[in-house]
Amino acid sequence: MSSSDVVLGPNQYGKAEVRVVRVNRETPVHRLMDLNVSSLLRGDFTDCYRSGDNSRVIATDTQKNTVYAFAKEHGISTPEEFLLLLGRHFTAQDEVSGGRWTAESYPWERIQVPGPEGEPRAHEHSFVKSKQEIRTAALTVQDGVEHLLGGFSDLTVLKTTGSEFSGFPRDRYTTLPETQDRIMATDITARWLFAADPGAQGGAAETDFDAVYATVKQLVLEQFALVHSLSLQQTLYAAGEAVLGAVPEIEDIRFVMPNNHHYVVDLSRFGLENPNEVFQAGDRPYGLMNASVTRRGAPSRPHAWEWLGGFC
Ligand SMILES: O=c1[nH]c(=O)c2[nH]c(=O)[nH]c2[nH]1
C-alpha cells in the first residue's frame, strides 16, 4: 500500500478535563464555580499527523492555560457562556476552523449555620458538595456554525408505585411477568440543543442559561413523579414533551435512561408474603433507553451530537 492510499480521517485534539475552580470574592459572600473543562480543536492538522509538522498546532498546554486565564479575566457565569467564550477565542485563530468544548459543573451549596437568633442562615464562604446531579454543557463549532447543548448527568430518581409494564409480545424466550405495579428507577442523563446560535450577537445575554437549566430539571422531575408510567420510554417522552412545551429556546432534547431494575424477592420459601415491599436492587444487566424528542420540522444538526457517547 502506498502512502497516498491512506488519508487522515476526522480528527480533533486538545486538553481533556481541565479542573478549574473560580472563586468570586467581590463581596464577603463568595461565589464558587467548580468545572471540568475539555477543549478539542478541529482544523487542517494533516501535516502534524502525517509528518510531525507542529507549526499549526496550538499546544494542548496552551489550551489548558487559556481555560485558567479566561476564568480569571472573564469569570465563569454559566458553563454555557464560558464555553462560548472559549470556542470563539480559539476559532478566531487561523489554525482552527472548529472544535468541541465541554464542561461538567459540580454543584456546591452554602452550608447552613445558626444565625443570630438561632435561625438557619447560609454561610458566606463555606460550601458542601451537592450530589444530586452534574450539570453539563457542550459547544461544537463546525463549518462556522455554533451548536450549544445544556444538560445534566446522573439525576437518580425512583418511584415506589405508579409504574407498570405489560402488553409486550411474548415468545418462547419471554419469562418476564406482566406487572401493574413496580418500582421504577433511573439515572437521568439529558442534553438539550439550544435553537441556532443562542449565543450569537448578544443572544447569550438574552438566554438565561441558569433559568433554562432550573426549568428543565424541574419539569423532568415533575413528569417522572406525575406521569402514571406504562414504560420508561413513555416517561422519557413525556419529560421531553414537557420541556419543549415550556422552553422555546430548546429545539431538541435527548435522554439516556437506564432502567434500574428492582426485583421483588421471593419470600414464600420462608412462609412470608411480599406484596412489593422487599426488593433486590439489580445491578447488571439493565434496560437502556436512548431517545431524542424534537420539534417537528426542526433543522437536523447532527454535528451537535457527534462523538458525544451514548446519545442518538
Ligand atoms: O419500562 C420498560 N420498558 C421496557 O422496554 C422494558 N423491557 C423490560 O424487560 N422491562 C421494561 N420496562
Give me the residue spans of the domains in the chain. 10-131, 139-312
The predicted pLDDT at position 198 comes to: 58
15 as an active site residue: the answer is yes
Position in ligand 1 atom list of the atom nearest CA 235:
1
Position in ligand 1 atom list of the atom nearest CA 230:
1
pTM for this prediction: 0.95
What is the overall mean pLDDT for the chain? 95
27 as an active site residue: the answer is no
Average pLDDT over residues 200-224: 84
254 is in an annotated binding site: no
The predicted pLDDT at position 311 comes to: 81
The predicted pLDDT at position 4 comes to: 81
- Sequence-distant (6+) residues with CB within 8 A of 205 are none
Check if 45 has its Cβ closer than 6 Å to any atom of ligand 1: no
The predicted pLDDT at position 204 comes to: 47
pLDDT in tens, 223-273: 999 999 999 999 999 999 999 999 999 999 999 999 999 999 999 999 999
The predicted pLDDT at position 167 comes to: 98
pLDDT in tens, 58-117: 999 999 999 999 999 999 999 999 999 999 999 999 999 999 999 999 999 999 999 999
Site to substitute for ligand 1 among 164, 168, 236, 263, most atoms within 8 A of C-beta: 168
The CATH architecture of the domain made up of 10-131 is Roll (3.10)
Residue 201, pLDDT > 50, answer no
Average pLDDT over residues 140-156: 97
Helix 79-91 crosses helix 60-74 at what angle (to 10 degrees)?
130
Classified by CATH at the fold level, domain 139-312 comes out as: Urate Oxidase (3.10.270)
Q: Do domains 10-131 and 139-312 have the same CATH topology?
A: yes
How many A from CA of 262 to the centre of ligand 1?
A: 12
Query: Out of 30, 60, 74, 160, which one is annotated catalytic?
Result: 60
- Sequence-distant (6+) residues with CB within 8 A of 182 are 163, 164, 165, 262, 276
pLDDT in tens, 286-300: 999 999 999 999 999
Site to substitute for ligand 1 among 231, 289, 290, most atoms within 8 A of C-beta: 231
The DSSP symbol for 4 reads G
> Considering the chain, what percentage of its residues have pLDDT values greater than 90?
94
* Residue 90, C-alpha cell as written in the block: 480559539
